[in-house]
Amino acid sequence: ASHWLQETGCRYDMLLDPDRKIYSAFGLERSLKKVLNFSNMLLYAEYVAENMAFPRELPSIQDDMFQLGGDFVLDEHGRVLFSHCCQSPIDRPSIEDILSAL
C-alpha cells in the first residue's frame, strides 16, 4: 500500500497494516478455495490467452497469495462508514460505492 500511495499521489489517509492485525479484526480471511476457484482460474487463463499483463509484483513485498482483500471507509472517530469483505481476488466494490460513503 505504501508503494501504491507513492505511485498515485493519493491524498487520503490510509492505514497500513503490515502485521495484518487489523486485517484479522475486520474479519477478513485467507482461502485457498476462494482464490483458486474455477472462475478465477478462467480469468487468469483469459489473461494468458489475450497476452494481457498481470499486475506486477513488487520484490520488496511478501504477499500471501491466499489473502482476500477488503475495502473500508472510516470517519474521523473510527466509525465504519463503508465495509466490503472480498469473496474472491476479483470481488471489489465500485469506486462509486466507496465514494458514496464519504
List pLDDT tens digits, range 9-32. Answer: 888 877 778 888 988 999 998 877
**What is the model's pLDDT at position 81?**
96
**What is the model's pLDDT at position 7?**
81
4: Cβ contacts below 8 Å, ≥ 6 apart: 10
Domain ranges for the chain: 2-100
C-alpha span between 66 and 11 (Å, rounded): 29
User: Average pLDDT of the chain?
Assistant: 82
List pLDDT tens digits, range 43-89. Answer: 778 878 888 876 666 555 567 778 888 999 999 998 999 999 998 88
What percent of the chain has pLDDT above 90? 24
Query: Would you tell me how many other CB atoms lie within 10 Å of the CB of residue 42?
Result: 10
Q: Which residues of 63-73 are buried (b: 16+ CB within 10 A; e: fewer)?
A: eeeebbebebb
